[in-house]
A and B are shown apart, each in its own frame.
Chain A
């Protein structure tokens, strides 16, 4: 048996029982479109996520190098 050493043991039947009980007592039906635009829509609780600096600014040498290396061929323009 795999030992779930750091986790207190939850009897697996408890989960199954809960699933069966929930399945058998579910009576409310929802219209999918209404649900998704109403109670099932994500909560409005904005949080700022500022863009981080993840590249070195392009130096002169790098700019020169990037103009020298091969660029992928472009598709011919129309007209």
Chain B
């Protein structure tokens, strides 16, 4: 084993050991707390649930701590080297408005051209729109806008469009169809999502890095969420810009040669992808069988299995995406991801996979079933208070004075503080470091970044019980065999009325009311403890509606708002030009 590998496994081992330590610490503390009246089955069950939940929280916290210990640095390569490879930028689309998606390609093409001119480099970058659109009206608009795109960008022979007759295999099948038909024409393929946007310079640097490391099969960037408008969207956007780079750094430190693939804003070596990533349908029917839904994790694992390096280069900037604007859209997307990740239970044992790939699958599965452990803990606590006999204050029949069992409340409080600490401390540490090293200046200064951090913590705490219920429903649906399908992502402003919120979450409100009532009647001692969970559930429709409203102001301000990246400004301009042209064309048609 080389020194690098030994160091990598030492780091991974330490991270797992620290998480286990926190998990078992919580387990023992809870057993001591439960032992004050003698341990029963409820205590042991709750202790196990606390162990698993704390282990999961601690794993996230440890990643942040590792991320805080280093800075993102570029790999060794020549950033000015001439580019000899051919790259194709793939944009799979599925019923999205082509005005927004195709204008992104126009902006990226202009950006690539500018970057190539600035570095005096000849480049060979093509763009392919891979349409899986089912709506004929949208498809006709795609065709018209494609012609406009080719005309405006003088892109004959550089821009391509193809619409599949049937969308077998969804996004993975769409990419596979491209590779099998045209893959040999290109060395690298940059895979995007319909809402992706990347700087031309970033694309060229990715091609250079792929050329510099011939064993590199996939290069993933860390996309930043941009253009959020609602309270919910902007809080997520802030979180993705402020906290995520640190967590991603931790992940990058532990990745070795088996880094992540998040399905978009990543470049693949076409040959490596073709020979390693052909995905068959799984045995049986959805949700566990059929086509692989969360194909990206599987493709990363398959590339690593075939000996290719999969790498997250978190130092690369200029990579953007958009996110959901409200809780309901977030829950819909999560429903799809939940099914995809639970489907990985079928793949985790695939022959020949690297141990870390299996661990990554396990993490993905855990991310979706973790809420069930918390819910189980709450339900078990209510049951314990209801069915456990109260303490016997007169254990000696002939002794006139009461006996008070030793109070272990301090241990319960300590445990609660510890668990909240795992959630809060990493984010507060990130805010502290950002204030110290000047990163916070990009977020409006240290004070504003601090208030945004507190705001994000508050909002995510309020939303957590609602999201927990949506996640629980998703897992139950998948386990009961319900296939969530492949709904189109909503990419509008996402504003929801109170009625929309009520329609989406009446059942959460109902569970919240019944749950708090049951606690009040059967376990009044727990009522105050469960109020922070029950109250947001009861108010779910209000929360959903309020957080979907447009949010301006400086709270949750991010660098892309204070100083938009060039590609974002350029895309705004292209979009404005195209919108004006389409309006003029519609007016012409109307008056004719």
From 154 to 203 in chain B, residues with beta carbon under 8 angstroms from any chain A beta carbon are 154, 156-157, 159-163, 176, 178-186, 199-202
Q: Are B565 and A22 in contact (CB under 8 A)?
A: no
Contacts A42-B160, A44-B182, A49-B180; A5 near B315 (Cβ below 8 A): yes
Contacts A2-B559, A19-B570, A22-B152; A42 near B182 (Cβ below 8 A): yes
At the interface with chain A, which of B115-123, B325-333, B529-537? B115-123
Residues from chain B with Cβ under 8 Å of A16 in the complex: 569-570, 573
Interface 1/0 per residue, A7-44 and B, CB below 8 Å: 11011101110110011001011111101100111111
At the interface with chain A, which of B345-353, B402-410, B511-519? B345-353
B151: Cβ under 8 A from any A Cβ: yes
How far is B344's CA from A66's CA once the two chains are assembled, in angstroms? 17
Contacts A19-B570, A46-B180; A40 near B146 (Cβ below 8 A): yes
Report the minimum CB–CB distance from A47 to chain B (whole Å): 3
Main secondary structure of the interface of B (DSSP, over half): helix
Q: Are A40 and B161 in contact (CB under 8 A)?
A: yes
Sorting the interface of chain A by its residue count into under 10, 10 to 19, 20 to 34 or 35 or more gives 35 or more
Q: Are B152 and A26 in contact (CB under 8 A)?
A: yes
Report the minimum CB–CB distance from A45 to chain B (whole Å): 4
How far is B351's CA from A56's CA once the two chains are assembled, in angstroms? 7
B480: Cβ under 8 A from any A Cβ: yes
Residues from chain B with Cβ under 8 Å of A54 in the complex: 279-280, 282, 292, 298, 302, 347, 350
How far is B507's CA from A74's CA once the two chains are assembled, in angstroms? 26
Q: Are A18 and B113 in contact (CB under 8 A)?
A: yes
Report the minimum CB–CB distance from B274 to chain A (whole Å): 5
Q: Are A6 and B283 in contact (CB under 8 A)?
A: no
Main secondary structure of the interface of A (DSSP, over half): loop
Contacts A18-B113, A47-B184, A51-B280; A8 near B80 (Cβ below 8 A): yes
The contact of B159 among A4, A32, A40, by CB within 8 Å, is A40
Q: Are B570 and A45 in contact (CB under 8 A)?
A: no
Contacts A32-B147, A49-B180; A6 near B316 (Cβ below 8 A): yes
B432: Cβ under 8 A from any A Cβ: no
Nearest residue in B to A15 (C-beta to C-beta)? B114
Residues from chain B with Cβ under 8 Å of A12 in the complex: 566, 569-570
Q: Are B179 and A42 in contact (CB under 8 A)?
A: no
The contact of B481 among A45, A50, A72, by CB within 8 Å, is A72
How far is B183's CA from A12's CA once the two chains are assembled, in angstroms? 32
Interface 1/0 per residue, B90-132 and A, CB below 8 Å: 0000000000000000110011011101110000000010000
The contact of A42 among B114, B181, B349, B480, by CB within 8 Å, is B181
The contact of A23 among B114, B162, B482, B577, by CB within 8 Å, is B577
Q: Are B146 and A32 in contact (CB under 8 A)?
A: yes
A53: Cβ under 8 A from any B Cβ: yes
Report the minimum CB–CB distance from A70 to chain B (whole Å): 8
A58: Cβ under 8 A from any B Cβ: yes
From 258 to 281 in chain B, residues with beta carbon under 8 angstroms from any chain A beta carbon are 270-271, 273-280
Contacts A8-B118, A42-B181, A44-B181; A52 near B276 (Cβ below 8 A): yes
Q: Are A6 and B118 in contact (CB under 8 A)?
A: no
How far is B444's CA from A1's CA once the two chains are assembled, in angstroms? 10
The contact of A36 among B115, B143, B567, by CB within 8 Å, is B143
Q: Are B160 and A40 in contact (CB under 8 A)?
A: yes
The 4 closest A-B pairs by CB, nearest first: A72-B481, A47-B183, A12-B566, A45-B185
Residues of B that sit less than 8 Å from A by CB: 74, 79-80, 106-107, 110-111, 113-115, 117-119, 128, 143-144, 146-147, 150-154, 156-157, 159-163, 176, 178-186, 199-202, 205, 270-271, 273-280, 282-283, 292, 298, 302, 315-318, 346-347, 349-351, 442, 480-482, 559, 563, 565-567, 569-570, 573-574, 577
A-B contact pairs, 7 of them (CB 8 A): A16-B573, A19-B107, A33-B143, A47-B183, A49-B277, A52-B280, A55-B349
A-B contacts besides A8-B118, A29-B151, A45-B181, 7 pairs, CB < 8 Å: A5-B317, A12-B566, A32-B147, A36-B161, A42-B160, A49-B275, A52-B279
